[in-house]
Amino acid sequence: MLDWLKSGPWSRMGMQMKIQTTLLVNLITTKCHLKPIYIWFTPWIMLITLQYMFSITIMIVRVIMESGKLYLLSIISILTLTMILIMIKICLHIVYGVIQI
């Protein structure tokens, strides 16, 4: 059922997401406390997170469409919107210095 995940563009997308996640973790765990760097990287972090969530959502939607349980799509869309709003709020906190990483 999940053979399409292992082949073609899906495997390349998985690799790209893995690399971006590594870069994101390295950025956040850096011991550098220069605030302008975080402000400069915040849109980049937001874009990577959005792409990551969008890719995962597409995979989940494909699995749901194959299984035929369409009522789960509304639950997934509500969860995705909630996650996007939380992520935007965290990025705004980073920009305005409420959360010091």
Full-prediction pTM beyond 0.75? no
pLDDT at 1: 42
Q: Has residue 18 been placed in a domain?
A: no
Q: Has residue 14 been placed in a domain?
A: no
Q: Has residue 7 been placed in a domain?
A: no
pLDDT digits (tens, 9 = 90+) for 55-99: 777 777 777 777 777 777 777 777 777 877 877 777 676 666 554
User: Angle at CA 50, nearest 5°, toward 29 and 30?
Assistant: 10
Q: Has residue 12 been placed in a domain?
A: no
pLDDT at 63: 76
Q: Could you tell me the two tokens for 15?
A: 């690799």
Q: Has residue 52 been placed in a domain?
A: yes
| Between residues 88 and 17, the one the model is more confident about | 88
Domain that residue 64 falls in = 34-101
Q: 97: how many CB neighbours lie within 10 A of its CB?
A: 10
Domain count, the chain: 1
Q: Has residue 4 been placed in a domain?
A: no
Q: Has residue 81 been placed in a domain?
A: yes
pLDDT digits (tens, 9 = 90+) for 23-53: 666 665 555 555 555 555 666 666 777 777 7
DSSP string, 24-56: HHHHHH-----HHHHHHHHHHHHHHHHHHHHHH
Q: Has residue 100 been placed in a domain?
A: yes
